[in-house]
Chain A
């Protein structure tokens, strides 16, 4: 059970949060211009890394804000948390 430092509320128990999958996948601005393969790449393809992974999380039972998290999936060590729109930290 993680202790997650919501950038808006502070440290809260994991059960208040919802994981939202891989971060930094931008919705294409002009979907109609994309081939089926390109659209499928956006729609379906997600990384499943053993190690450092960039993820989206939502403080669903709190401020309802989305934010980003850098987490080592093998140790569950949370390396960084930053707001939507902010630049990911460089490793």
Chain B
């Protein structure tokens, strides 16, 4: 089986550096410059995988990113393993291991291959039709489908590589470094445009760089020789950056593109470490020049998928570029002249070409004559009706085509061969063009979609713009460059081009066989095993839209997005339905053009850099004192401080008791703080809060509730009047940014006449909240000069003071119901303040408490937390907070909505307290509440929003929202849980110190 098919050396292959690699466990050799595909072909390995549905043996079909079959798992079993990689894109290196996907136990003997014999029973829509019934069996079906599906294996340990993102701004981005891209980039850069040229391959030059048709000449040189000279010149041009191994994945509006730059995938493991593997380039270009080329089309005929059947252009590339003969008995099957170029390429290297089968009646071009002179047999007006060879092609049968191309006549001729090159014409690669939002138009002459309406500053040049011959390419490129770059002359003005004469064309989307269609397998989508038969079946079953046919038959739904067969699918639909292809429209090409790894997408945002997080100035103290943290928005907040191996429950019970019995301290620095200044500041607060603000005296604090215009509670917090025209507002931790945004919105758009200025000062101040009956004594120790008497410093008031030399703002406000002081200092003094308080509080057993204890303490008092006890559907009335809604104010945000018929309903969900019959049972937050247990369907009255065991009350307490709950005080309800039903009684939500006596304790 293994023999060396390396022919005549190629300048792209370094035969002095031999590389060994493993494929499916077996060791092979190749050379530096080989792809996995070229190295395997050099070893005469064609069979590389099994198809998705029928598990038919499949071989390497192409030489590029459009490859549908040669999908491999790279370095299986390692933490660098990657599934779904195209062997045609993998550059080999010492130690590379790869294995076939979608085959079990091996590619040579595959159990799923039985599906091939069952294929009459696996038509289009098979999965939809079969596995839907009975519904309860879906889980069992799913297991088998997933088990036999060839999606490869993801790595099980973390990715050792580094990925990066980079922003690039350029004047001109050129995508594709074939002849058009190279000439475009060169002329753009020479005219002082900052230019970036990218290509997915590791070498520049595209197809033309190995174009050796002796009848095509540029300035009297072969296109290959001429282009190599141009590539040399590129190296010394200023303003030009060239990135190879860089594949543009997405082209968004406004010329914003994403490209993946591959930096280490071609290196040995030892050279990969500590380097960036792939970089996602985020490119914003003023102009984009698409030079993405064209993809060769296969031909659709019976059994057109056997290993050994390849694109004609790929055979040529393997021979010219990699120096590899894909077979020793080659045949070409074509509808145009390009197969003759491939045939001559092989012939000139001494590789045997048995015959060319051409569906056309004739062609008069020079290259065709040359092929005949070489003694290669050409069968005109013939088509292949069948092929044989299970794991490798061994013969084709051909017959004469009828004049209309729909049937075959005469006798069958069988030709033995081991490689067949198919040439079905060229499809412009317009994927990126359409991604940009630009519109295509079907061209009847070349039977392909071409760029038509550009939405951004872009041009399509070369074959992706519909120019296939070198003279057309250069002429049209020249004009387009002048127009788009606004220049008068280019390098291309004086180029002399000679080309072989125009050839004739004949396009037949589905080639006939001597067997009826039902007995044949003409594959349209190789990766997903969709045949022409499936497409016709879909049409018979009533599908019309191309998007529906595509999904029903899975045509074009593979990882290659049907790059090879989409046009044939459209053509077959059009022919069958009797409509014009242009009227069908094309399917949508979605990003990415080729798959991206997750690593590239997330870049450096992994592990601890996954998301931004914010820490308070006291964070180090919390860490030193073994706090557990919780995420609140982006903040890391101290959650509780376990000591001596306490559980969370134990710690919270201890902290809660200490705060009420002596003294506690909370890091409240994360609360949002907005500085409000201006002569209309009071009026502004009047409009944004539900209560009245005009009469708040300087030095006083007030709690405020903010609604949305729909009347629902949006945020709350205490605002302090610092001066005549100066307030400081606090918001919830999570709501800070949104509140500022909302207030700015009203100021800028609805009330621009108000003289008010808002500044976020959340990060500028650190806040320690001292709480408990001994808090005043502790504060006195820190600030002996300040008169802390109730007369001088009553509840809901504010003082400025100094702790040593540190200026601070102190608010006597309380979120726990205890006597409390919130001390604010400049953020840089936060830890100093905290340590001062701890030091001074020692004799009172001051206890630091976290967010969990804070939540428990406020729940004992029935204070709401916006976002926990509210969910955007609660009005202040629903929360039983009517007291804070001003009846006198003419207007405030959300006021009118409080009088809508819906918000005035009596049976809205309202905030209530819940007490469990057994005081030791703590309800689950989110648990549903019902009044009847034996109802079906059971009516949900509401749910538990906050629930704790209160150490101060020695019983379980909960807050809940219950439909019509306000009038249910004392009523028994039920909380049905999986294991038992819990009896609860509706109660007043204020459980502790209803008269607020402790505020002045």
Indicate, yes or no, whether A interacts with B.
yes
Is B253 on the interface with A (CB-CB < 8 A)?
yes
Is B897 on the interface with A (CB-CB < 8 A)?
yes
Among the stretches B297-305, B628-636, B745-753, the one at the interface with A is: B745-753
B750 with A27: CB separation less than 8 A? yes
Given A3-B284, A39-B896, A76-B437: A20 and B745 interface contact (C-beta under 8 Å): yes
Is B156 on the interface with A (CB-CB < 8 A)?
no
A2 with B745: CB separation less than 8 A? no
A85 to B750, CA, bound (A): 10
**Which of A2, A31, A56 is close to B896, meaning CB atoms less than 8 Å apart?**
A31
A3 to B745, CA, bound (A): 22
B741 with A60: CB separation less than 8 A? yes
B437 with A32: CB separation less than 8 A? no
**Which of B749, B891, B897, B901 is close to A84, meaning CB atoms less than 8 Å apart?**
B749
B745 with A58: CB separation less than 8 A? yes
A65 to B745, CA, bound (A): 8
For B891, the chain A residues whose CB sits under 8 A away are 30-32
For B899, the chain A residues whose CB sits under 8 A away are 32
For A39, the chain B residues whose CB sits under 8 A away are 896-897, 900
CB proximity to B under 8 Å, residues A9-42: 13, 18, 20, 26-28, 30-32, 34, 36, 39-40
A56 with B741: CB separation less than 8 A? no
Closest to A26 in B: B750
**Which of A1, A27, A65 is close to B254, meaning CB atoms less than 8 Å apart?**
A1
Closest to A60 in B: B741
Is A49 on the interface with B (CB-CB < 8 A)?
no
On chain B, the number of residues with a Cβ less than 8 Å from chain A's Cβ atoms is: 25
A84 with B748: CB separation less than 8 A? yes
For B255, the chain A residues whose CB sits under 8 A away are 3
Given A31-B896, A58-B745: A43 and B901 interface contact (C-beta under 8 Å): no
Is B260 on the interface with A (CB-CB < 8 A)?
no
For B741, the chain A residues whose CB sits under 8 A away are 18, 58, 60, 64
A2 to B899, CA, bound (A): 41
Given A27-B750, A43-B710, A64-B744: A32 and B256 interface contact (C-beta under 8 Å): no
B256 with A3: CB separation less than 8 A? yes
B745 with A32: CB separation less than 8 A? no
Is A48 on the interface with B (CB-CB < 8 A)?
no
A13 to B253, CA, bound (A): 11
For B284, the chain A residues whose CB sits under 8 A away are 3, 13
B749 with A66: CB separation less than 8 A? yes
CB proximity to B under 8 Å, residues A42-70: 43, 56, 58, 60, 64-66
For B455, the chain A residues whose CB sits under 8 A away are 75, 77
**Distance of A7 from chain B, by nearest CB (Å):** 12
**Distance of A69 from chain B, by nearest CB (Å):** 13
**Distance of B438 from chain A, by nearest CB (Å):** 10
A30 to B890, CA, bound (A): 9
Closest to B257 in A: A1
Closest to A31 in B: B896
Is B475 on the interface with A (CB-CB < 8 A)?
no
Given A3-B256, A77-B455: A32 and B748 interface contact (C-beta under 8 Å): no
A31 to B891, CA, bound (A): 7
A2 with B253: CB separation less than 8 A? yes
Is B252 on the interface with A (CB-CB < 8 A)?
yes
Per-position contact with A for B806-830: 1 when CB-CB < 8 Å, else 0? Answer: 0000000000000000000000000
**Distance of A90 from chain B, by nearest CB (Å):** 21
A66 with B744: CB separation less than 8 A? yes
Closest to B252 in A: A1
A1 with B895: CB separation less than 8 A? no
Closest to A65 in B: B748
Is B471 on the interface with A (CB-CB < 8 A)?
no
Closest to A18 in B: B741
**Distance of A28 from chain B, by nearest CB (Å):** 8
For A60, the chain B residues whose CB sits under 8 A away are 741
Per-position contact with A for B376-413: 1 when CB-CB < 8 Å, else 0? Answer: 00000000000000000000000000000000000000
**Distance of A76 from chain B, by nearest CB (Å):** 5
Closest to A74 in B: B437
A1 with B253: CB separation less than 8 A? yes
For B901, the chain A residues whose CB sits under 8 A away are 36
A30 to B895, CA, bound (A): 11
B253 with A84: CB separation less than 8 A? no
**Which of B437, B745, B895, B900 is close to A75, meaning CB atoms less than 8 Å apart?**
B437
Is B709 on the interface with A (CB-CB < 8 A)?
yes
**Distance of A30 from chain B, by nearest CB (Å):** 8
A60 to B752, CA, bound (A): 18
A26 to B126, CA, bound (A): 56
CB proximity to A under 8 Å, residues B894-953: 895-897, 899-901
A31 to B644, CA, bound (A): 59
A87 to B617, CA, bound (A): 47
For B752, the chain A residues whose CB sits under 8 A away are 84-85
A40 to B897, CA, bound (A): 9
Given A1-B253, A1-B256: A43 and B749 interface contact (C-beta under 8 Å): no
For A64, the chain B residues whose CB sits under 8 A away are 741, 744
**Which of B252, B253, B437, B749 is close to A56, meaning CB atoms less than 8 Å apart?**
B749
**Distance of A39 from chain B, by nearest CB (Å):** 5
A2 with B744: CB separation less than 8 A? no
A31 to B893, CA, bound (A): 10
For B254, the chain A residues whose CB sits under 8 A away are 1-3, 76
CB proximity to A under 8 Å, residues B857-881: none
A3 to B900, CA, bound (A): 41
A13 to B284, CA, bound (A): 9
**Distance of B602 from chain A, by nearest CB (Å):** 16
Residue with the greatest number of chain B CB neighbours at <10 A, chosen from A1, A26, A34: A1
For A40, the chain B residues whose CB sits under 8 A away are 900
A84 to B901, CA, bound (A): 34
For A77, the chain B residues whose CB sits under 8 A away are 455
For A75, the chain B residues whose CB sits under 8 A away are 437, 455
Q: What are 18 A-B pairs at a CB distance below 8 A?
A: A1-B252, A1-B253, A2-B254, A3-B255, A13-B284, A28-B896, A30-B891, A31-B891, A32-B895, A32-B896, A34-B896, A58-B741, A58-B744, A64-B741, A75-B437, A76-B254, A76-B437, A77-B455
Beyond contacts A26-B750, A66-B745, A84-B748: 13 other A-B pairs, Cβ-Cβ < 8 A, are A1-B256, A3-B254, A3-B256, A13-B284, A30-B891, A31-B891, A32-B891, A32-B895, A32-B896, A43-B897, A58-B744, A60-B741, A76-B253
Q: Contact residues of B with A, CB < 8 Å?
A: 252-256, 284, 437, 455, 709-710, 741, 744-745, 748-750, 752, 890-891, 895-897, 899-901
Chain A to chain B: the 9 pairs with minimum beta-carbon distance, closest first: A31-B896, A1-B256, A3-B254, A66-B748, A76-B253, A27-B750, A1-B252, A39-B896, A2-B254
